[in-house]
Amino acid sequence: MIYIDESEQRNLAEILNKSQLSGSLTVSCIKDFIKKGGLVEFVKIHHHLRFKINNQMAKKNGIKISSFLLELAER
């Protein structure tokens, strides 16, 4: 698992490319992280921390996300 801090936003494309080659699970609070190719994006919704999952990218990286976890994720 690789956590990508918001301070690394300018290096995001390079980090995601390298992580995809290694099949790593990427996690971040960067806005639109899953749209940019990340796997798990933490978001604040009504003062609660929630998460979104990019399941297609996870499958591409060889990572299987449980159906229970997918049900808990924001859409």
- State phi, psi for 31 to the nearest 5 degrees: -60, 135
Statement: residue 29 has pLDDT above 90? yes
3-state secondary structure at position 46: coil
3-state secondary structure at position 58: helix
Could you read off the pLDDT of 52-74 as tens digits, one per residue?
999 999 999 899 999 999 999 99
Query: Average pLDDT, whole number, for the chain?
Result: 94
Q: In terms of Cα–Cα distance, which of 69, 2, 74, 75 is closest to 38? A: 2
Residues 59 and 62: their CA atoms lie apart, in Å, by 5
> 30 is in which domain, residue-wise?
2-72
Structurally, the chain folds into a number of domains equal to 1
State the pLDDT confidence band at 22, using cuts at 50, 70 and 90: confident
Instruction: Please report the pLDDT score of residue 75 as a whole number.
Output: 83
